[in-house]
Amino acid sequence: MNLYELTVNDTEKIAIQDLFFSPENNAVLEQTIKEHRYINELKKYNLQVDNKILLHGHSGCGKTTTAKAIATALNKEIIIVNLSTIINARIGETSKNVKALFDKAARENAVLFLDEFDQIAKSRENDDKDVAEMKRLVNTIIQLIDYFPANCLLICATNFYNSIDSALLRRFQIKLNFEMPNKSQLDLYYDKILNEFPIHFQDIKRKYGISYAEVKDYVNTTMKGLIIAELEVLQKQF
């Protein structure tokens, strides 16, 4: 299997200021970005930059978007791993695939983004029939992380923080929790995305208690219906 098949082709650029998350997460990410911008200056004082980030929490709350925004802010390519193809029935093949992607990120001075990290990083204490094979895979990942170059970034995301092996968790200098947005946070997000549409379409019923991704899907579906309905009315008039 070649490297192209192991990755997702996604070139979307996202500005860090367009992200919606807590002030605490925002402060940590701003510090991390600044560290990498001044990495050479910090090296003069033997100061190591933080380059291993774990994003965890609810699905649809901005983990993938955050990884893209970090890459954009640092003008780095992002390698998004397709875990559906990287996981092989033979655990040795999976380890080989993972190593190939770490090597690619190191060569290209890139951001390596592993979504659904729990699929390849489960605790070695789990009691299942594949525990021996999983232990070998986790050991491989630990070694790859330990030798990952400081000028690259490893960003992993999971919805199942507690299933990650404890030795792997210790290797992430930064762990950011993504919680479900509250009403005021969602209103800000609604305002931003609705502002892209004509004003007579913007007064839609707002749903709450859902993720940012669900809001985006809801607005997109609603807007398509409103626009099509308006076009059909105009066609009938002519």
pLDDT level of residue 120 (50, 70, 90 thresholds): confident
Higher per-residue confidence, 97 vs 187: 187
Angle between helices 63-73 and 23-37 (to 10 degrees): 30
CA distance linking residue 193 with residue 212, whole number of Å: 11
Strand arrangement of the beta sheet that strand 174-178 belongs to: 7-8, 78-81, 111-114, 153-158, 52-57, 174-178
**122: which strand partners?**
164
Query: What per-residue confidence (pLDDT) applies to 136?
Result: 84
Q: What is the mean pLDDT of residues 150-174?
A: 95
Q: For residue 126, is pLDDT > 70?
A: no
27-57, pLDDT tens digit by residue? 999 999 999 999 999 999 999 999 999 999 9
Q: For residue 3, is pLDDT > 60?
A: yes
CATH hierarchy code of domain 3-178? 3.40.50.300
Mean per-residue pLDDT over the chain, rounded: 89
Query: What per-residue confidence (pLDDT) applies to 91?
Result: 60
pTM: 0.86
Q: For residue 81, is pLDDT > 60?
A: yes
Q: For residue 17, is pLDDT > 90?
A: no
Q: Find, among 80, 141, 145, the residue nearest to 115 by Cα.
A: 80
